[in-house]
Amino acid sequence: MLQFLGAYNLLRHGAVAQVDNLFGSVVNSNGKKRYSILIVVVTGRLGFERASASLEASHHTYCLVRSSSFSDPKKSRKLQFLVDSGGIILEGSLHDEGSLVEAVKQVNVVICAVNSKQVLDQEPLISAIKKDGCIKRFIPSEFGLDPDKTHISDMDQGFYSRKS
């Protein structure tokens, strides 16, 4: 988590030269490094913030969204903001490995922002990343405790027993 937050803060403040060891980069004609970043689930709070920070730092930012997001007015406004800021919207789903493979082929960094209850749904994304073989950095949506080392309340035991 610390490595992710550090990378996020660097992205947020545009200090891209400092993250060369974390991400693969492309140098554009004026010498500024730019990264190709795929953000999975950009219509939630976490994903939207990550996509906005990536665009603010002038990175090529691809946003993977489900087709149902376009019909939701709140999500649609977020998507329009990202497009207006230079984001590239890709339609796909964590449950469609074909769309994931196509999306992953276009980038060298993948950031997943699914909520904690969908952590296990990242498996097809990980499989797509392995198939592509060109991803320099994958930042999963995994910011919870290790269920094998933590006492879990009865409320979430079902989720954590599947995770461990």
Express each pLDDT in 103-146 by its tens digit. Answer: 999 999 999 999 877 888 899 999 999 988 889 999 998 765 56
Q: What domain count does the chain have? A: 1
Query: Measured at the alpha carbon of residue 24, what is the angle toward residues 64 and 62, in degrees to the nearest 5?
Result: 15
Q: What is the CATH number of the domain that holds 95?
A: 3.40.50.720
Active-site positions read 163
pLDDT in tens, 67-114: 999 999 999 999 999 999 999 999 999 999 999 999 999 999 999 999
**Which amino acid type is present at position 9?**
N
pTM exceeds cut of 0.75: no
Range of the domain at 127: 2-163
Give DSSP secondary structure letters for 88-103: EEEE--TT-HHHHHHH
**Which amino acid type is present at position 99?**
S
Decide: 90 and 103 in contact? Cβ < 8 Å. Answer: yes
The strand pairing partners of 112, in sequence order, are 40
- Token digits of residue 110: 């993948």
